[in-house]
Amino acid sequence: MATAQEESKAAYHPPYDEMILAAITELGEKDGSSKLAISKQIEATYGDRLPADHSDLFSESLAKLKESGKLLFVKNNYLKPDTDAQPRRGRGRPSKPKPDVPEGPELQSTKQRSLPAKEKKPVSASTGKKRGRPPKSSNTNGDPAPEISEIAPTGPKRGRGRPPKVSSSTEVSVE
C-alpha cells in the first residue's frame, strides 16, 4: 500500500486540459506547438507528479480539446484559436448564398428531373439479327475447311522482314 504522503504527491496536478493549454501558452510558438514539445513542457513542470499512464491520458486530452474546438490542429501543431482573427477562406471562388426555402412535400418541385425511360424492344424480334459485327467464319457455304497444305504456296520460303528494294538501274536487254 502507498502511504498518504505518496498518494497526495502523485494526485496533485491540475487537469490535463489546463496543463496542455498552459504549456502551449508557455512555449509561445507562433505556428503552434508539436505534441512532443507540449508533452516535454508538461513533464518538465509536473514531472514527479504525473501518473504512469501519462502518455495515454495526454493523447486523449489533446484529442478532446481538438474536437471541442479549444485547440486547432494545423500542420501537425496545436495552437489556441485566435478569437479576433477572421475565419480562413478556402481556395477558389466562394459559393453563392442559397435562398431560404423551407423543405416540405408540398413545396417540392414538380419539374421532371430526367427523361422518361425508353421502351426496350427485344433485339431478335425486330430484325432477327444480333447487334454488332457477325463472328468471323472461314467457310460460309458449309464445306469442310481446306487443309493447310492446299493453301500453302509452293515457291521458296520467304525470309522474315521486308523484302529488299528492287533497283530500276539494272537494265534488262531484250533481244
**Domain of 20: which CATH number?**
1.10.10.10
Q: What integer pLDDT is reported at residue 105 of this predicted model?
A: 58
Asked if residue 42 is part of any domain, the answer here is yes
**Residue 85 within a domain:** no
Domain housing 59:
4-79
Quote the pLDDT of residue 37: 92
Q: Per-residue confidence at 60, pLDDT binned at 50, 70, 90?
A: very high
Q: Is residue 27 part of a domain?
A: yes
Residue 142 lies in a domain: no
Q: Give CA–CA dist 39/33, Å, rounded.
A: 10
**Is the whole model's pTM more than 0.75, yes or no?**
no
Instruction: Indicate the number of domains in the chain.
Output: 1
Confirm whether 31 is domain-assigned: yes
Bridge partner residues of 73 (DSSP): 78
In angstroms, what is the C-alpha Rg of the chain? 42
Which is it for the CA torsion 158, 164, 167, 170, positive or negative? negative
Give the pLDDT mean for 66-89. Answer: 80
User: What is the predicted pLDDT for the residue at 36?
Assistant: 92
* C-alpha cell of residue 138: 472461314
- Give a yes or no: residue 90 inside a domain: no
Does residue 9 have a pLDDT over 60?
Answer: no
User: pLDDT by residue (tens digit) across 26-40?
Assistant: 998 888 899 999 999
Q: Do the domain assignments include residue 144?
A: no
Within 8 A by CB and 6+ apart from 37, the residues are: 27, 29
In a domain, 111, yes or no: no
Q: Name the pLDDT band for 1 (thresholds 50, 70, 90).
A: very low
